[in-house]
């Protein structure tokens, strides 16, 4: 009797190029990976190796490997005025690179508040930025909005916000979601014990219809802590194996890639953790 083959992976360096990142992921027995399309600490526009990016796409297609890109750390959808043009150029560059690499999308963190007097200002700027970027981009890959890890009630911690921002943009079909399990736990969106409520709300809002990837991380702090500190899945985290079992087996997640962003220097390396994930959940019935 057959089952569902789950996709597990990790972050991969582009030190040896985009095709090198794909090959490194395969060497770790990963069926999915994430990468920074350029220097993760800069918004500079990269004149990338198009041939190498095309080789990455071909390699992933040949070996049935899923990939997503992640914007550099300084990227914000609510940047200061002097950073807005640079941010638009940088994200257009990220989308182009990811598209040539054959990636499903580019993960972008949800924005931050920009005005204590006007709580809607941050959302309005996000929508303006997304409209600018997507009206100029001709690439097929998506912008994937990621939930944030703030305290409950912080900007970007609810599915309602994510869905609403997407729906108010001029090109909602070009926007999807990436769910970070540590962030969800930190913000009490999913606290390990409210899965049924979480699933019901996500289905009602249509959130799961546009969820494309999972950042699969445990949390070094309890639910509702607001702290973005990732832990390994089976080691030193506050999310239990039983709680992960329930999440992974839930219907909306059974065909999605789970990509680790966990520490590789705390007793377990990426390839070892991927093997544990495959052993535990590699084939669901």
Please tell me the distance from the alpha carbon of residue 233 to that of residue 217, in angstroms, as a whole number: 6
Place of tokens 């994930």: 277
**Could you tell me how many helices (H) and strands (E) the chain has, helices first?**
9, 12
Given this model, what pLDDT does residue 140 score? 87
Residue 218's nearest CA partner among 176, 273, 178, 177 is 273
Q: Give the pair of three-digit tokens for residue 193.
A: 């014990």
What residues have CB less than 8 Å from 148, skipping those under 6 apart?
Answer: 109, 110, 154, 155, 156, 157, 183, 187, 228
Task: Note the pTM of the prediction, 2 decimals.
Answer: 0.97
Given a contact cutoff of 8 angstroms between Cβ atoms, the answer to whether 126 and 111 are in contact is yes
CATH of domain 4-284: 3.20.20.150
Q: Give the pair of three-digit tokens for residue 57.
A: 């796409």
3-state SS, residue 8: strand
Domains of the chain: which residue ranges? 4-284
| Residues of the chain below pLDDT 50 | 1
Given a contact cutoff of 8 angstroms between Cβ atoms, the answer to whether 149 and 180 are in contact is yes
- Secondary-structure percent of the chain, ordered helix, strand, coil, rounded to 5: 40, 20, 40
Q: What is the pLDDT of residues 150-176, one digit of tens each?
A: 999 899 999 999 999 999 999 999 999
Given this model, what pLDDT does residue 2 score? 57
């Amino acid at each position: 009797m057959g089952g569902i083959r789950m996709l597990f992976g990790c972050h991969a360096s582009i030190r040896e190029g985009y095709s090198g990142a794909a090959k490194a992921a395969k060497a770790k027995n990963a069926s999915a990976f994430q990468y920074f399309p350029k220097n993760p600490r800069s918004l500079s526009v990269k004149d990338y190796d198009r041939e190498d990016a095309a080789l990455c796409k071909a390699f992933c297609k040949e070996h049935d490997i899923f990939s997503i890109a992640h914007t550099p750390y300084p990227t914000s959808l609510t940047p200061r005025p002097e950073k807005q043009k640079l941010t638009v150029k940088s994200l257009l560059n990220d989308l182009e690179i990811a598209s040539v690499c054959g990636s499903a999308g580019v993960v972008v963190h949800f924005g931050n508040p920009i005005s204590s007097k006007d709580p809607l200002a941050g959302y309005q700027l996000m929508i303006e930025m997304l409209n600018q970027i997507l009206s100029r981009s001709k690439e097929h890959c998506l912008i994937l909005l990621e939930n944030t890890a703030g305290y409950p009630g912080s900007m970007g911690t609810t599915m309602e916000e994510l869905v609403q921002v997407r729906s108010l943009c001029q090109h909602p079909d070009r926007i999807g979601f990436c769910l970070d399990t540590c962030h969800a736990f930190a913000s009490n969106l999913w606290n390990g014990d409210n899965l049924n409520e979480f699933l019901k709300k996500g289905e009602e809002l249509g959130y799961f219809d546009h969820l494309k990837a999972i950042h699969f991380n445990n949390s070094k702090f309890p639910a509702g802590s607001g702290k973005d500190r990732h832990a390994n899945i089976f080691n030193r985290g506050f999310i239990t194996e039983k709680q992960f079992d329930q999440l992974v087996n839930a219907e909306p997640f059974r065909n999605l890639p789970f990509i680790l962003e966990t520490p590789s220097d705390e007793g377990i390396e990426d390839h070892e953790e991927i093997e544990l994930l495959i052993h535990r959940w590699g084939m669901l019935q």
